[in-house]
Amino acid sequence: MAVPDHRMARCLVPLPDESLPGFALRLGHRLHLPPGHILWRLGLLGAQTTATIAPSGRLFFIDPVRRERLARIIGTTAQTVDQLTLHPLARRFPPAAHAVSWPRGPGELPKPRQIAPPWILSSFSRYCPHCLAGDGSAVQERHGGPWRRRWRLATSFACVRHRVLLKHECPGCHQPSGLAANGSGPGHHLLLIGNPGLEGLHPAACRNTQAGQRAVTCGYRLDKPADAPLGTLPQNLAELQFRLDRLLDDETAPEDAFATFADLQTITAVVLATWPATADMVPFEQGAAVDEHLAAQEKRLPGFTVQSAPRDEGVFWTYLPRASIGAGAVLSIADRLLSLPDGELMQELGRLAPRCPERDGKRWGATWKLLEREATLVRRAVVQQALRKRPVDRRRRIPSTAWSRRQVIPSLLALKIEGCQGFASENIPQELPDQ
């Protein structure tokens, strides 16, 4: 059935910093329709006319034709529609630029990538229960507060307004607080909204289904902060989040924000690759969250395939911990290193250099390319000099047979991943082809 493109009689106005899936959930709640129907009505299903699902790539980018039509349908401007996606952040937040493949030739249009780069959470959203509970206004009382767009950035680990760490799991089912999960394994694509056909759920209700029981929906209300004690927000993390948030606002020049995030991307990868060398810079519980993240990555290494990446579970050091406290810890260490004068930063990196795995190790992902292309000139020079490429010591390589037989010795993994099927350098998310 063709999608009608006249304006909807009843609609909602997008809230500031609201994400597209959040908007569709609130609109579905208002109209008593399943969000899947709303996505169809808004013209957001896949490209084929037979498509029945909205791909998660709409989170990053809506093409101009769809954007115009959607603006007409909900009675707003194309710019407001664009603001529902991460696209307007592309000038400030490098991964938002990497999430879209830009045209190589005339006549081609930008397209969202199927696999999100590290630092963009495409399979789940962190959240602040207080924000989801709404601000007390009539419309938010009825349909809940916004699922914020910036909660999809791995650098958002706290809500400075409510002074809490963001949550990353549903307390009901202990799964990532997903709006988007759908099946598992190759061939399953991420959805913009999980279980889009389910109706009658509040926008702040968990849409996860129990494993193996597709009919049982969790439904836990994520906007009920009283049920689960929230992590208190340490002062240094509150200040860091405040500064990171400001980089996304208009008062910061986009190029300054872009450079700051690009430098952080490089240094957080170095922190994770050399962990626990800098663990003494954060309190014990923050360090423990980083330990947990790296242990989970190590566990996934033997079975890692490119298809695992869409679930925000990459094994590269370019991924920040899923848990807010771990992400905050790594970012705060990198931030402190980057606040040092060049000479001292050089000294600190020099201290880490002996613990740094070889630069052609696959787990670096696109770190060195990003350093080359996007880090600030000064910081690039310091990092390049402190962490010079070492000559390859062939004796330290893992034999390819170890990988292919999945009998990798964990202690060697950090040194080198070699000969893994489907794990070539072109498979790192930033470099994946669109299809």
Q: Which residues bind Zn ion (CB under 5 A)?
A: 128, 130-131, 159, 161-162, 170, 172-173, 206, 208, 218, 220
User: Which residue, 28 or 146, is less far from Zn ion as judged by CB?
Assistant: 146
User: Which residue, 212 or 343, is less far from Zn ion as judged by CB?
Assistant: 212
User: Which residue, 217 or 266, is less far from Zn ion as judged by CB?
Assistant: 217
User: Which residue, 37 or 162, is less far from Zn ion as judged by CB?
Assistant: 162
Q: Residue 250 CB, nearest distance to Zn ion (Å)?
A: 21
Question: Rg of the chain over CA atoms, in angstroms?
Answer: 22
User: Which residue, 161 or 373, is less far from Zn ion as judged by CB?
Assistant: 161
Under 8 Å between Cβ of 233 and 165: yes
Pick the closest to residue 183 from 156, 162, 212 (CA basis): 212
Q: Please give the C-alpha separations between residue 177 and each of 22, 77, 227, 350, in angstroms, as whole numbers.
A: 13, 30, 16, 39
Q: Dihedral sign, CA of 74, 79, 82, 83?
A: negative
The total number of residues written for the chain in this structure: 435
User: Which residue, 218 or 349, is less far from Zn ion as judged by CB?
Assistant: 218
Distance CA 42, CA 8 (A): 10
Q: Residue 329 CB, nearest distance to Zn ion (Å)?
A: 20
Q: Which residues pair with 153 in a beta bridge?
A: 120
Q: Residue 288 CB, nearest distance to Zn ion (Å)?
A: 24
How close are the terminal C-alpha atoms of the chain, in Å? 27
DSSP SS3 for 167: strand
Q: Residue 258 CB, nearest distance to Zn ion (Å)?
A: 26
Q: Residue 130 CB, nearest distance to Zn ion (Å)?
A: 4
Tracing tokens 């000969």 back to the chain, one arrives at 419
Q: Residue 171 CB, nearest distance to Zn ion (Å)?
A: 8
Under 8 Å between Cβ of 282 and 333: yes
User: Which residue, 226 or 409, is less far from Zn ion as judged by CB?
Assistant: 226
> To which H or E segment does residue 165 belong?
strand 164-165
Under 8 Å between Cβ of 267 and 338: yes
Q: Residue 167 CB, nearest distance to Zn ion (Å)?
A: 10
303 burial class (0-12, 13-18, 19+ CB within 10 angstroms)? Answer: exposed
Q: Residue 157 CB, nearest distance to Zn ion (Å)?
A: 12
User: Which residue, 15 or 71, is less far from Zn ion as judged by CB?
Assistant: 15
User: Which residue, 172 or 254, is less far from Zn ion as judged by CB?
Assistant: 172
User: Which residue, 161 or 396, is less far from Zn ion as judged by CB?
Assistant: 161
Distance CA 355, CA 279 (A): 13
DSSP string of 357-423, one letter each residue: PPTT-GGGTTHHHHHHHHS-HHHHHHHHHHTPPPPP-GGGSPPHHHHHTT---HHHHTT---S-TT-
Q: Residue 173 CB, nearest distance to Zn ion (Å)?
A: 3
Q: Residue 153 CB, nearest distance to Zn ion (Å)?
A: 15
Under 8 Å between Cβ of 36 and 44: no
User: Which residue, 244 or 333, is less far from Zn ion as judged by CB?
Assistant: 244
How many CB atoms are located within 10 Å of the residue 125 CB? Answer: 25
> To which H or E segment does residue 217 belong?
strand 213-217
DSSP SS3 for 293: helix
Q: Residue 53 CB, nearest distance to Zn ion (Å)?
A: 21
